A and B are shown apart, each in its own frame.
Chain A
Amino acid sequence: MLAFGHLTATASHRAAERTRAAADATPAVSVEGVSKCFRLPHQRYSTLKERALHPFASRTYDELRALEEVSFEVAQGEFFGIVGRNGSGKSTLLKCLAGIYGNDSGEVRVHGRLSPFIELGVGFNTDLTARDNVLINAIMLGLTRKQARERFDEIVDFAELGDFMDLKLKNYSSGMSVRLGFAVAVQADADVLLVDEVLAVGDAAFQQKCFDQFDRMKEEGRTILFVTHDMTAVRRFCDRAMLIEKGRVVNIGDPEDISREYGEINFGDIAHGERDDADLAPVRVLDAWCEDSAGERLVSQAQGERCRACMEVEFEAAVEDPSFAITFRNDVRHTIFVARSDRTGPSGRFAAAERAVIGFGFDNWLAPSRYTLTPSVATGAAGPASAAVARREDIGQLVVQASHWSGGVADLPVELEVRRT
């Protein structure tokens, strides 16, 4: 951590500058009614000969509306998440913001200097040494030659690759070059950063470093637009988030709400299949989450601590003794553990329009992994045969952390006893 000493010193200086800049309320990024449409010819004639042979053939094309009337504003110093499914237009939007694609209509305004790192280490040339690549990449990202040379040491320190700077990049492991790319990108010192899925690469230690760096940038008051599928990251870093689907803005708001909505869209097929029943069902599931013993919602938790899995439901009609359950699934969608109420006695009577939060407390001895929570409610006869009348797939998440992993799906505490015979 010594390496960060002078980094943070200059950082706090920059932060002071930014705070002053943030005093005037101009949004850092404002997007007004931006549309972008790609022409996809049915058959693409990309040579003159083919064009000459088929003079009219290439005139028909499909229009792919990648973005439609997208409008939003991001305030200075805000950490803004953009989420959506694959092909929803996130990356196109980012490229329009970055000035890589031109938009067909609408207006994009960026206040301050913008640095896209759509992808880390773009422009790295594998035949050059890391030293040359750092300088070139820094210049590509908008630093001057002089600045690039001045920041060189900081970049090397941050990447922790001091011993390898004279090595050609083709001899780097992919992890090393990603680290180098990130180190350059964070030093590019832009007011507005566009980040596309950079957390998807790198090992756990590198991801942690990215997280730390994001925390620091957030403190410095930089504006960051962040595209990701990682809802944990959205909840953790973003001040606001935007959900887009099929090129349209579905919602902008609190990261919690957006990530929940994203979960719904993502598993929309299942949810839609059941929605017809759900309309008739006397109860609706609103939300599911995990909280600690103090009632704070958890994104991640250390193994062994007390955890409470909660679900919020709203009753449309009066229901007698419904049973509740929350299913925990791990990364590979194996059901690990189901917390259910029908074993613990009657749950009581609920009136119409009543809302309730049902919590299942347990000592969290789940193996370290990412879990999703699927809450469900069943009415009628309690017991294993009761069918769920309301169920929402994977709307909650919990990451369990531990220093070691025993190899199983749960690490129940054990008492050692050696009996010699």
Chain B
Amino acid sequence: MSARAGVATGPAALGTDLRRFLSLTFTLAATDFKLRFFGSALGYLWSLMRPLMLFGVIYVVFTQVIRFGEGVRFYPVYLLASIVLFTYFSETTAGGVTSLVTRENLLRKMRFPRMVIPLSVSLTALFNLGMNLLAVLVFALGSGVRPRLSWLQLPLLVLVLTVLGVGLAMLLSALYVRFRDISPIWDVVLQLLFYASPVLYVLSLVPDDFERAMLANPIAVVLTQMRHAVLDPSAPSAAEAIGPDVRLLLPLGIVAALFALGLWVFMRETPRIAENL
């Protein structure tokens, strides 16, 4: 037993016991994941169904109707991979927004570091991403994509997406406790981001001026780099697309800034979360 002498108590965002923090986050995430997978007969299929359906519809439209994808190598794989990555981002943030409110019964009755809640939502989404990437892998190999060493960049890209998603989840979940219209607003923003990010199209097809501006969006950077590193080495990397390397600091700076803002707001709101719920 850790007998910490005279600890002044109060609701903490992070707490002092890292092991407990991690084990709680993991337990909550694993529970959610388990519920999703074993709660229904087709568990895994359902969670894959959403990105697959979206993929199917867009694939038909963009290759058969508009004939847009023809100039892009491995366009179907790119489409599926980018949809899966964007789904990860939207699950992290949209799930994060309501996370504190849906876990009200825990927050009002139990003592544990508050940050566990939005983090566990992100972790569940990460588990899901892992499962979905397996499907992408099978599809990619089937389409003739060759494994390359640069695939190792993928975890790094997922990390960037995770930091962005967690930062937003912290920010939005804390705000949602007080302002309940954050949730519909965020739904609209996600829609906007979906089209503003090169999910359906590839960035190299966008006029140059637009391209630079769009690369301020960290998701666009992640997807473009993914295309270069995973699918087609001849496609421009994010650094090449954005021009001088220094400019890469802008999207990364945005990620860092959003994360810092989210952390700050969450820490500030922590003491009053339970009573404002």
Contacts and interface: CB of A to CB of B under 8 A. Distances in A.
Contacts of B181: 47-49
Contacts of A189: 1
A122 B103 CA distance: 11
Interface string A7-36: 000000000010001000010001000000
B7 A102 contact: no
Interface string A74-108: 00000000000000000000011111111100011
B9 A98 contact: yes
A145 interface: yes
Contacts, number: 114
A136 interface: yes
A97 B1 contact: no
A112 B3 contact: yes
B111 A102 contact: no
B27 A136 contact: yes
B110 A116 contact: yes
A139 B23 contact: yes
A233 interface: no
Interface string B9-26: 111100000011001100
A136 B103 CA distance: 14
B272 interface: yes
Interface stretch (B31-39, B57-65, B217-225): B31-39
B34 A128 contact: yes
Given A122-B109, A139-B24, A140-B24, A101 B5 contact: no
Contact of A140 (B4, B106, B271, B274): B106
Contacts of B275: 38, 101
Interface in A133-172: 135-136, 139-142, 144-145
Contacts of A38: 275
A26 B7 CA distance: 12
Interface string B117-144: 0000000000000000000000000000
Contact of B10 (A51, A102, A123): A102
A136 B31 contact: yes
Interface string B256-275: 00000000000000011011
A128 B31 contact: yes
Interface residues of B, number: 40
A110 interface: yes
Nearest to A144: B23
Contacts of A139: 23-24, 27
B2 A113 contact: yes
Contact of B12 (A98, A99, A119, A125): A99
B11 A100 contact: yes
A12 to B, nearest CB: 16
A100 B27 contact: no
A297 B10 CA distance: 42
A100 B35 contact: no
A277 interface: no
A111 B272 CA distance: 24
B109 A47 contact: no
B179 A114 contact: no
A132 interface: yes
A46 interface: yes
A122 B106 contact: yes
B112 interface: yes
B110 A100 contact: yes
A421 B50 CA distance: 88
Nearest to B32: A125
A51 B7 CA distance: 39
B6 interface: yes
Contacts of B146: none
A45 to B, nearest CB: 9
A127 interface: yes
B178 A46 contact: yes
Contact of B1 (A113, A118, A119): A113
A365 to B, nearest CB: 44
A125 B6 contact: no
Contacts of A107: 8
Nearest to B116: A140
Nearest to B6: A109
A191 interface: yes
A38 B271 CA distance: 13
Contacts of A95: 108, 274
Given A47-B181, A102-B11, A144-B23, 15 more contacts: A30-B6, A46-B179, A48-B182, A100-B11, A100-B274, A109-B7, A109-B9, A128-B35, A135-B27, A140-B27, A140-B106, A140-B112, A142-B20, A144-B20, A145-B23
Interface of A: 17, 21, 26, 30, 38, 46-49, 51, 95-103, 107-114, 116, 118-119, 122-123, 125, 127-128, 132, 135-136, 139-142, 144-145, 189, 191
8 contacts: A47-B179, A48-B179, A100-B108, A102-B271, A109-B8, A109-B9, A113-B2, A118-B110
Closest 7 CB pairs of A and B: A102-B271, A99-B9, A47-B181, A122-B109, A99-B111, A109-B6, A102-B10
